[in-house]
Amino acid sequence: MDKENVIDMKTHGGNGFKWGNYTKLGIVLIVILALIIFIITNVFIVKEGEYRVIRQFGEVVRIEKSPGLSYKIPFIQSVTTLPKFQMTYDVQEAELNTKDKKRIIIDNYAIWRIEDPKKMIANARTVEKAESRMEEFIYSVVRAEFGQLNYDEIINDEKSSRGSLNDRVTEKVNELLSKDNYGIILVDVRMKRTDLPGENEQSVYTRMISERESKAQEYLSMGDAEKNRIVAETDREVKEMLAKAQADAEVIRAEGEGEAARVYNQSFSKDPSFYELYRTLESYKKTINEKSVIVLPSDSPYARLLMGYTK
């Protein structure tokens, strides 16, 4: 094989193609692949319910809030994700003093959200530090509020003001967070439970039992008083009804006797002899009995009637 043929084979290859073409194609593919990787690593998706914070040399330069595609400048910018939805934080339980110097253990939870990511990052840096600062404010406000309430007002449902206490704590904590520009807002704070230190439990339970027994006795006394009032009122009404009924009966009886007398007079006036007979027979009922002994002349009206003579 001569020198020219060797050069031709190195240039064109065994099948007639140039090796340089393969080299150029490989470089193009590598460049395209690198470009795709470059784009993928610097384009990101903003999801619903999250903030995307773009930083440059540690400073916040942009915040993406709307869902969709976004980008960052490679090598000099970084992306941090923050939650947009509400979060629940379990506040550590604490032992506090009441107004009357009693001890009570409280356990709270808080519902909060990030309102201004830029302020939150600038002053709290992370979600964990923001929660820690919020917890400090909650503890401070709750301690101040409990310091204005007596022990009985907290443990006694009838005297408790806990219904508005949560709202006051929420409002005051938000004032403190806004003042320090933490960029977060407390939606609500609630008490999960309020417990008593072990040394106070028995005395408090005894006191509560005594109060309930006193209240029960008060209700029983009120019930007895109401019962006596009802009985007295009923007796008075019964007496009034009986008196009225008796008066009505007397009136009716008098009217009946008057009517009877009128009927008798009207009947007897029609036959005087019958009336005389009737009066005589009536007198027998009063004067004669089983032991009566009567001595009468045979011609007396009494004797004649007794012997059956009517003339």
Residue stretches of the chain with pLDDT short of 50: 1-14, 17, 157-158
CATH of the domain at 186: 3.30.479.30
So what's the pLDDT on residue 7?
A: 45
So what's the pLDDT on residue 187?
A: 93
Q: Give the end of a domain, one of 37, 66, 83.
A: 83
Question: Within this chain, do residues 123 and 180 fall inside the same structural domain, yes or no?
Answer: yes
Minimal CA–CA distance to 61: which of 121, 129, 113, 128?
121
Number of domains in the chain: 2
Question: Within this chain, do residues 192 and 91 fall inside the same structural domain, yes or no?
Answer: yes
pTM confidence score = 0.53
Q: Is residue 54 part of a domain?
A: yes
**How many CB atoms lie under 10 A from the CB of residue 3?**
7
Question: Within this chain, do residues 191 and 110 fall inside the same structural domain, yes or no?
Answer: yes
Q: Is residue 110 part of a domain?
A: yes
Question: Within this chain, do residues 55 and 131 fall inside the same structural domain, yes or no?
Answer: no
Q: Is residue 298 part of a domain?
A: no
Q: Give the end of a domain, one of 83, 118, 148.
A: 83
Q: Is residue 40 part of a domain?
A: yes
Residues of the domain holding 24: 3-83
pLDDT per residue as tens digits for the range 7-39: 444 444 445 545 666 687 778 788 788 777 777
Q: Is residue 127 part of a domain?
A: yes
So what's the pLDDT on residue 112?
A: 94
